[in-house]
């Protein structure tokens, strides 16, 4: 099969991400990778729960002292919306509407950047207002590692989307790059799901638990 064959919306297959063997392998391999990532985050969550509020002295800030739900709510909304916009992008990818796909992916990237901006502000706030740092206590190490791993995943996801958009900026959709866009959006959804758990376990349970 010629990988660079040109398609129109009429000839475009129903599941372009799984039409070629390479695409099918990538699709399955990436799902399995996400299975491994799930265990990775599960281990980090378990570590966080074991070390939550474990600090060496009474003068250290605890979860309930620091977290503010309005800020985290905005971050959650940004990331959830970015997941929705990446769904729109994939919808247009499946309909072979390249420009709309690009637009929605670009919106996704900006929403992700906004999320990252808030996260940097949040970390900075904790460090300067509460002296809650990576090295100040076991709680600090566990918090920044869990949330930081998620943040690093966001950075990778944004870099991935950007690279794909730049590389394929002018050549349109084909069966070679469609699976690439699709796996990147799967990754983005996964990041979103992890955040839902962080929101619940770290922030909500941090405020009330």
Partner 1 sequence: MSTVAEKRGFLAVLWDYLTTVDHKKIAILYLVSGGFFFLVGGIEAMLIRIQLAIPDNDFVSAGLYNELLTMHGTTMIFLAAMPLLFAFMNAVVPLQIGARDVAFPFLNSLGFWLFFFGGIFLNLSWFLGGAPDAGWTSYASLSLASPGHGIDFYVLGLQISGAGTLIAGINFLVTIINMRAPGMTYMRMPLFTWSTFVASALILFAFPPLTVGLFLMLFDRMFGANFFDVTMGGNTIIWEHLFWIFGHPEVYILILPAFGIFSDIISTFSKKRLFGYAAMVFATVLIGFLGFMVWAHHMFTTGLGPTANAIFAVATMAIAVPTGVKIFNWLLTMWGGSIRFTTPMLYAVAFIPSFVAGGVTGVMLASAAADYQYHDSYFVVAHFHYVIIGGVVLGLLAGTHFYWPKMFGTMLNETLGKITFWLFLIGFHGTFFIQHFLGLMGMPRRIWKFLPNQGLDLFNMISTVGAFFMALAVIVLLYNVVITQIKNVRVGNDPWGDGRTLEWAIPSPPPYYNFKQLPLVRGLDPLWIEKMEGRKEMTPAEPLGDIHMPNNSFIPFVMSLGLFIAAFGAMYQVDWRASDGADYVWSIPVLIIGMLITIGSMAVRSLKDDHGYHIHKEELMDDHDDKGGRE
Closest CA to 24 of 169, 143, 183, 147: 183
Q: Measured from the CB of residue 152, what is the shortest distance to partner 1 in angstroms?
A: 11
Q: Which of 5, 25, 124, 200 binds partner 1 (CB under 8 A)?
A: 25
Residue 152 buriedness (CB in 10 A; 0-12 / 13-18 / 19+): exposed
6 near partner 1, rule: CB under 8 A: no
CA distance 206 to 200: 8
44 near partner 1, rule: CB under 8 A: yes
CA distance 95 to 100: 10
Q: Which of 29, 74, 121, 129 binds partner 1 (CB under 8 A)?
A: 29
Q: Which stretch binds partner 1 (CB under 8 A): 32-40, 66-74, 77-85, 101-109?
A: 32-40
Q: Measured from the CB of residue 40, what is the shortest distance to partner 1 in angstroms?
A: 4
- Give me the helices (H) in 67-172, please: 69-94, 98-130, 138-167
CA distance 22 to 51: 43
24 near partner 1, rule: CB under 8 A: yes
Q: Measured from the CB of residue 141, what is the shortest distance to partner 1 in angstroms?
A: 4
Q: Which stretch binds partner 1 (CB under 8 A): 6-14, 50-58, 88-96, 186-194?
A: 50-58
Report how far Cα 64 is from the mean position of its chain's Cα atoms.
26
Angle subtended at Cα 119 by Cα 185 and Cα 33, rounded to the nearest 5 degrees: 35
Which structure tokens are listed for 168?
């394929």
50 near partner 1, rule: CB under 8 A: yes
139 near partner 1, rule: CB under 8 A: yes
Binding mask 141-170 for partner 1 (x = CB under 8 A): xx--x-----------------xx--x---
End-to-end CA distance of the chain: 57
What residues make contact with partner 1 under the rule CB under 8 A? 3-4, 21, 24-25, 28-29, 32-33, 35-37, 39-40, 43-44, 46-47, 50-51, 54-56, 134-135, 137-142, 145, 163-164, 167, 176
């Amino acid at each position: 099969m010629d990988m660079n064959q040109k398609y129109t919306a009429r000839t475009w297959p129903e599941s372009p991400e799984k039409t070629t063997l390479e695409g099918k392998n990538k699709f399955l391999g990436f799902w399995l990778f996400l299975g491994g990532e799930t265990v990775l985050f599960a281990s980090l969550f378990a570590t966080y729960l074991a070390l939550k509020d474990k600090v060496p002295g009474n003068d250290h800030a605890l979860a309930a002292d620091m977290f503010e739900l309005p800020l985290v709510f905005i971050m959650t909304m940004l990331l959830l919306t970015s997941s929705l916009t990446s769904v729109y992008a994939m919808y247009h990818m499946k309909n072979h509407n390249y420009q709309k796909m690009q637009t929605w992916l670009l919106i996704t990237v900006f929403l992700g950047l906004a999320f990252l901006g808030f996260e940097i502000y949040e970390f900075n706030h904790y460090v300067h207002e509460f002296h809650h740092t990576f090295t100040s206590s076991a709680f600090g190490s566990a918090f920044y590692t869990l949330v930081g791993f998620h943040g690093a995943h966001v950075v990778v996801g944004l870099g991935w989307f950007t690279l794909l958009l730049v590389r394929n900026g002018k050549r349109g959709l084909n069966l070679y790059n469609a699976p690439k866009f699709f796996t990147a959006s799967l990754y983005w959804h996964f990041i979103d799901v992890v955040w839902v758990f962080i929101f619940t376990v770290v922030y909500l349970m941090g405020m009330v638990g």
